[in-house]
Amino acid sequence: MSKPTIIQVIKSVLAAAIGVQSDKNRRYDFEHGSASTYIIAGLIFTVLFVLGLVFLVSSILG
């Protein structure tokens, strides 16, 4: 098997973030993926999530 594509990494990070990552996918990620790739993708997701929350709250509060 080859390395996960960027789409697979994004799907995996999103699934892990909301807690629905399957054991099969988790095993695939650990066996074929690079930890640094998932760490970077996770950090990017976290920053975008926090910025989205800040924007949402600031737009609601005026």
Q: Percentage of residues in the chain with pLDDT exceeding 90?
A: 81
pLDDT value at 1 more than 70? no
pLDDT of residue 24: 92
- For the purposes of burial, counting CB atoms within 10 Å of the CB of 24, is it exposed (0-12), middle (13-18) or buried (19 or more)? exposed
Average pLDDT over residues 45-57: 97
- The sign of the torsion formed by the CA atoms of 26, 27, 32, 33 equals positive
> What is the overall mean pLDDT for the chain?
93
pLDDT value at 46 more than 70? yes
**CA–CA distance, 30 with 36 (Å, rounded to integer):** 11
**CA–CA distance, 62 with 18 (Å, rounded to integer):** 29
pLDDT of residue 2: 83
Average pLDDT over residues 10-24: 92
Q: Tokens 């970077």 label which residue? A: 40
Any idea where the domains of the chain sit in the sequence? Answer: 6-61
